[in-house]
């Protein structure tokens, strides 16, 4: 897709939250104070979809708080707002869900019931009217015990027509969606103020290192979580990002004392990781990582 820039298109979290589904594009433009950036798809628009447009705004966050791109997208059908999404606009760090409160909520509960039981509204990342009088809402909560860090993971709750559709398993919460491990194992220590790591340090850490090498290189042992998945030969070590104002986490998994997996969440602030359709079509199965990076 291509984005047609139309000027200063910043939006605050407060304004985003006040915009309602069903508004016209003119109402959104007038309320925000700018028309946003029109997202133009690369594929030809079929006649049935010509009434659909997406408009993007940039999150209005002070540069000393967030050094990466925060975006908001509003989707309109025949001029009426039917969906809104936000990414990295809400940095509130107290959207915590404990295991005890998680066990209390039930499928079929309303959002107000869930919010009241958990004690916070959660990070509402998407709202949509997918059919007349049918709504969809997606809410994120942090896992228990990681206040101030969206660390070992999050739980995503989906509400269909105002009611909780289902409860995802609590045990899958992980340092990244592809590396799953329990968050309810005993910890030998908690994250301390100096358990921080920069993205540059993260990149230089190599597979095959032992835990002592990691500790010496970073300057602190991090939060050590032994016996992941009841395997005494496996431990997970996690660190916070270098800024206390940015929600970020890095995790390192050691098997038999050797670093075998590393993962980072919200560490890389680079905003120019873009790929065109032509470049994508060039990529062939079997290429090495180096071949792919050179092509871009």
The CATH fold assigned to 182-296 is: Beta-lactamase Inhibitory Protein; Chain:B, domain 1 (3.30.1450)
Cα–Cα distance measured from residue 206 to residue 185, given in angstroms and rounded to the nearest whole number: 26
Range among 43-47, 52-56, 179-183 rated most confident: 52-56
Cα–Cα distance measured from residue 197 to residue 40, given in angstroms and rounded to the nearest whole number: 38
The DSSP call for residue 236 is E
The answer to which of 8-12, 132-136, 260-264 has the lowest mean pLDDT is 132-136
Tens-digit pLDDT profile for residues 205-235: 999 999 999 999 999 888 876 544 456 677 8
User: What b/e readout covers 75-108, taking b as 16+ CB neighbours within 10 angstroms?
Assistant: bbeeeebbbbbbebbbbeeebbbeeeebeebeee
The answer to which of 53-62, 64-73, 253-262 has the lowest mean pLDDT is 64-73
Cα–Cα distance measured from residue 271 to residue 286, given in angstroms and rounded to the nearest whole number: 27
Cα–Cα distance measured from residue 38 to residue 5, given in angstroms and rounded to the nearest whole number: 7
How many residues are recorded in the chain?
296
Whole-number pLDDT of residue 61: 66
Q: What is the average per-residue pLDDT within 20-43? A: 88
Whole-number pLDDT of residue 215: 92
The CATH fold assigned to 2-172 is: Nuclear Transport Factor 2; Chain: A, (3.10.450)
Tell me the domain boundaries of the chain.
Answer: 2-172, 182-296
Tens-digit pLDDT profile for residues 174-197: 333 333 333 333 333 445 667 888
pLDDT band at 111 (very low <50, low <70, confident <90, very high): very high
Q: Which residues contact 61 (CB under 8 A, 6 or more apart)?
A: 70, 89, 91
Q: What is the average per-residue pLDDT within 244-266? A: 79
Whole-number pLDDT of residue 264: 79
> β-pairing, 163-164 with 134-142?
unpaired
The DSSP call for residue 86 is E
H/E stretch holding 295: helix 289-295
Tens-digit pLDDT profile for residues 115-162: 999 999 999 999 998 776 678 898 988 766 444 333 445 678 889 888
Is the fold of 2-172 the same as that of 182-296?
no
192: helix, strand or coil: coil
- Cα 289 to chain center, whole Å? 25
Q: What is the pTM of this model?
A: 0.55
Whole-number pLDDT of residue 196: 86
């Amino acid at each position: 897709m291509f984005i047609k820039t139309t000027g200063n298109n910043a939006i605050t979290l407060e304004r985003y939250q006040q915009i309602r589904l069903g508004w016209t594009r003119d109402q959104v433009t007038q309320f925000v104070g700018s028309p946003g950036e029109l997202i133009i798809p690369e594929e030809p628009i079929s006649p049935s979809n010509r009434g659909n447009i997406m408009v993007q705004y940039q999150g209005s966050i002070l540069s000393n708080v967030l050094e990466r791109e925060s975006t908001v997208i509003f989707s309109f059908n025949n001029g009426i707002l039917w969906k809104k999404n936000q990414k990295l606009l809400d940095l509130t760090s107290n959207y915590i869900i404990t295991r005890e409160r998680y066990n209390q909520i039930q499928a079929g509960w309303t959002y107000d019931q869930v919010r009241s039981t958990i004690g916070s509204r959660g990070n509402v990342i998407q709202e949509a009217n997918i059919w007349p009088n049918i709504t969809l809402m997606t809410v994120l909560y942090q896992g228990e015990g990681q206040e101030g860090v969206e660390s070992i993971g999050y739980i995503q709750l989906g509400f269909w027509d105002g009611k909780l559709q289902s409860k995802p398993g609590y045990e899958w919460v992980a340092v990244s969606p592809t590396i799953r491990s329990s968050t309810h194992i005993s910890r030998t220590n908690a994250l301390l103020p100096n358990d921080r790591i920069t993205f540059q340090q993260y990149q230089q850490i190599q597979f095959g290192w032992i835990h002592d090498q990691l500790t010496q290189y970073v300057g602190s042992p991090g939060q050590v979580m032994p016996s992941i998945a009841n395997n005494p030969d496996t431990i997970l070590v996690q660190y916070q990002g270098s800024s206390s104002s940015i929600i970020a986490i890095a995790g390192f998994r050691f098997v038999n004392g050797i670093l075998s997996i590393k993962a980072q969440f919200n560490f890389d602030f680079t905003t120019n990781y873009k790929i065109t359709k032509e470049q994508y079509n060039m990529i062939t199965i079997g290429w090495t990582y180096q071949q792919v990076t050179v092509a871009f």
